[in-house]
């Protein structure tokens, strides 16, 4: 039986491991950290539980289809709840919009804000659903080898949606600024500015409004636990605290790794670790991409994260709450065009204990805050503190309550931690952005151009950033092998 080694234990790696184990390979995962899950780890303190990375469970069909591939159901591994409201967006003091858990509720809400927009949204959502069918049922499962993968009768008639961007398209349909921002928000998951993302990607609006926002009981880490359980049931072996230091190449073929100082041999090697880092484990002549290549790429943002234990139940916010009370475009410019610490940051608050009592002790709240920032900017404890004060002051003002005096503890996580914990290039949080020039066959390749039997998976290759794409990425690479 062939031995396959996988570097890293993120969603893509676990996904790949299960498909390959099912086909009879002997699969071992080597993870540098003490727990599996990659960027989707969990942090626990004093009865509080925080997902350190992903917290939005979107595209439930992708998760269901993954477990179905093994004759299982999501329900066999974790419990899901559809959130209502799906999320809330603040635009000003005590001025927020709640996105309901059905299209009907959302159409009504739009109509209330901008008369006539309910019907426009209905038409817009029909297109978004069609694009979702084309993209997620078919295109995203392609390996990104040839441009022809994208060309078919369904995409050709939609060419115009690849030539215009989602910002323009949304602003053409919706004049109200709040509605326009709500509709542009989902593409932020792709890691790029809405003005840099093809309008075709409005399939993310179907993922958002059409399919809804879900919460796995006990947090996103339950998904990792479920996938790990499935993997172990079919024979995958997980090894944690294993730092892969080198990839061994003989006669242009990957034949093993050096891990914690010891040589181990395999027939096929996959890396789910960040692509740039993985190539640094190879001699320079075996790298497919040089530093210039990576330097020219548009990376998804990094993030400044805070995990806060609050000594009270928080009011007037929802499980997922976005704070869009400042200029959306300025913040985007300061991430992508003119990288620097944001002058006025947008931020996101996650309060999972509002709907899931397991996430915090009774009467208290688990709060996770995220500020998207440019990758590679300087990260210091003073800067973290400065931004913590900015967002907590805004949170207090916008929701009209005191928070600061109820903080039991707070921990932060930023660029330096992304670099140290995940070997992430410039401390990016979620990989390589999905812009038009970095889509499908234009992304770093899954098959090494220089080393035989070396493959890549995860958010830096196809299809791109996010949990569902990472799970799909694992399936694609296993098919290539």
Ligand X SMILES: Cc1cc2nc3c(=O)[nH]c(=O)nc-3n(C[C@H](O)[C@H](O)[C@H](O)COP(=O)(O)OP(=O)(O)OC[C@H]3O[C@@H](n4cnc5c(N)ncnc54)[C@H](O)[C@@H]3O)c2cc1C
Residues 268-307 that bind ligand X (CB under 6 A): 272-273, 277, 303, 305
Position 31 contacts ligand X (CB under 6 A): yes
Within 13 A of 13's CA, how many CA atoms are on the CB side?
A: 30
Task: Report the 10 Å Cβ neighbour count for 101.
Answer: 16
- Binding characters for ligand X, 239-258, by CB under 6 A (x = yes): ----xx--------------
Chosen residue from 11, 25, 161, 351 binding ligand X by CB under 6 A: 11
Q: How far apart are CA 140 and CA 62, in angstroms?
A: 11
Question: Between residues 332 and 467, which has the closer beta carbon with respect to ligand X?
Answer: 467
Q: Which CB, 186 or 194, lies closer to ligand X?
A: 186
Q: Three-state DSSP class for 368? A: strand
Q: Which stretch binds ligand X (CB under 6 A): 72-80, 106-114, 195-203, 427-435?
A: 427-435
CB of 157 to ligand X, least distance (A): 29
Under the criterion CB under 6 A, does residue 425 sit at the interface with ligand X? no
Q: Work out which of 39, 167, 297, 384 binds ligand X, going by CB under 6 A.
A: 39
By CB under 6 A, the residues from 321 to 380 that bind ligand X are 370
Within residues 434-463, the interface with ligand X by CB under 6 A covers 458-459
> Contact letters (x/-) for ligand X, 66-95, by CB under 6 A?
------------------------------
Among 20, 434, 466, 476, binds ligand X (CB under 6 A): 466
Please answer whether residues 334 and 343 qualify as being in contact, where contact means their C-beta atoms are separated by less than 8 angstroms: yes
Q: Least distance to ligand X from the beta carbon of 432, Å?
A: 10
In the chain, DSSP finds a helix count (H) and a strand count (E) of: 16, 19
Q: Which of 32, 215, 276, 319 binds ligand X (CB under 6 A)?
A: 32
Quote the tokens at residue 232.
């172990």
Residue among 281, 237, 226 at smallest CA distance from 20:
237
Which residue, 32 or 155, is less far from ligand X as judged by CB? 32
CA–CA dist 388, 309 (Å, integer): 14
CB contact at 8 A, 144 and 445: yes
Under rule CB under 6 A, residue 415 binds ligand X: no
In the numeric block, which tokens belong to residue 440?
């499908």
With CB under 6 A as the contact rule, the residue among 54, 194, 256, 444 that binds ligand X is 54
Question: What tokens does 172 get?
Answer: 């053409």
Closer Cβ to ligand X, 2 or 246, answer by number: 246
Task: Please report whether residue 465 would count as binding ligand X according to CB under 6 A.
Answer: yes
Does position 10 interact with ligand X (CB under 6 A)? The reply is yes
Query: Does the protein bind ligand X through residue 422 (CB under 6 A)?
Result: yes
21 or 370, CB closer to ligand X? 370
Rounded distance between C-alpha atoms, residue 16 and residue 12, angstroms:
6
Instruction: Report the residue closest to ligand X, judged by CB.
Output: 38
Query: CB of 348: closest distance to ligand X in angstroms?
Result: 9
- Closer Cβ to ligand X, 121 or 472, answer by number: 472
- Is residue 165 close enough to count as binding ligand X by CB under 6 A? no
Q: Which stretches of the chain bind ligand X, using CB under 6 A?
A: 7-13, 30-33, 38-40, 53-56, 243-244, 272-273, 277, 303, 305, 370, 422-423, 429-431, 458-459, 465-467, 470
């Amino acid at each position: 039986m062939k031995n396959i080694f996988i570097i890293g234990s993120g969603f893509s790696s676990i996904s790949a491991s299960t498909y390959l184990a099912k086909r009879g390979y002997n699969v071992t995962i080597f993870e540098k950290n003490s727990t599996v899950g990659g960027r989707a780890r969990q942090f626990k303190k004093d009865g509080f539980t925080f997902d350190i990375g992903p917290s939005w469970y979107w595209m439930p069909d992708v998760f269901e289809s993954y477990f179905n591939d093994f004759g299982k159901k999501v329900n066999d591994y974790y419990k899901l709840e559809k959130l209502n409201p799906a999320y809330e967006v603040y635009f000003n003091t005590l001025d927020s919009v709640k996105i309901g858990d059905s299209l009907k509720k959302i159409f009504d809400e739009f109509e209330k804000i901008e008369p006539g927009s309910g019907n426009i949204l209905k038409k817009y959502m029909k297109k978004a659903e069609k694009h979702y069918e084309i993209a997620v049922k078919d295109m995203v499962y392609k390996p990104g080898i040839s441009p022809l993968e994208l060309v078919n009768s369904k995409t050709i008639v939609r060419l115009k949606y690849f030539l215009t961007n989602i910002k323009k398209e949304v602003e053409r349909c919706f004049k109200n600024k709040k509605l326009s921002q709500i509709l542009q928000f989902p593409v932020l998951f792709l890691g790029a500015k809405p003005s840099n993302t093809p309008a075709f990607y409005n399939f993310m609006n179907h993922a958002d409004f059409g399919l809804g926002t879900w919460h796995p009981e006990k947090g996103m880490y339950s998904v990792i636990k479920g996938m790990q359980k499935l993997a172990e049931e079919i024979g995958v072996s997980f090894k944690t605290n294993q730092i892969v230091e080198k990839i061994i190449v003989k006669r242009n073929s990957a034949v093993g790794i050096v891990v914690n100082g010891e040589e181990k041999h395999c027939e096929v090697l996959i890396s789910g670790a960040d692509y740039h880092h993985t190539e640094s484990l190879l001699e320079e002549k075996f790298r497919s991409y040089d530093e210039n290549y990576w330097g020219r790429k548009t990376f998804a943002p990094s993030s400044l994260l805070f995990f806060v234990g609050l000594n009270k139940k928080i009011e007037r916010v929802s499980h997922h709450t976005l704070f869009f009370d400042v200029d959306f475009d300025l913040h985007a410019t300061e991430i992508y065009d003119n990288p620097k610490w944001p002058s006025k940051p947008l931020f996101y608050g996650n309060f999972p204990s509002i709907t899931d009592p397991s996430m915090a002790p009774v009467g208290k709240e688990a709060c996770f805050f995220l500020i998207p920032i440019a990758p590679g900017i300087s990260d210091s404890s003073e800067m973290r503190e400065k931004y913590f004060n900015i967002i907590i002051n805004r949170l207090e003002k916008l929701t009209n309550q005191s928070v600061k005096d109820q903080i039991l503890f707070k921990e932060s996580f930023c660029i330096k931690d992304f670099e140290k914990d995940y070997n992430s290039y410039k401390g990016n949080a979620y990989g390589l952005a999905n812009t038009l020039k970095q889509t499908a066959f234009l992304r770093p390749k899954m098959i090494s151009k220089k080393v035989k039997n070396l493959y890549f998976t995860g958010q830096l290759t196809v299809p791109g950033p996010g949990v569902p794409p990472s799970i799909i990425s694992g399936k694609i690479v296993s098919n290539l092998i």
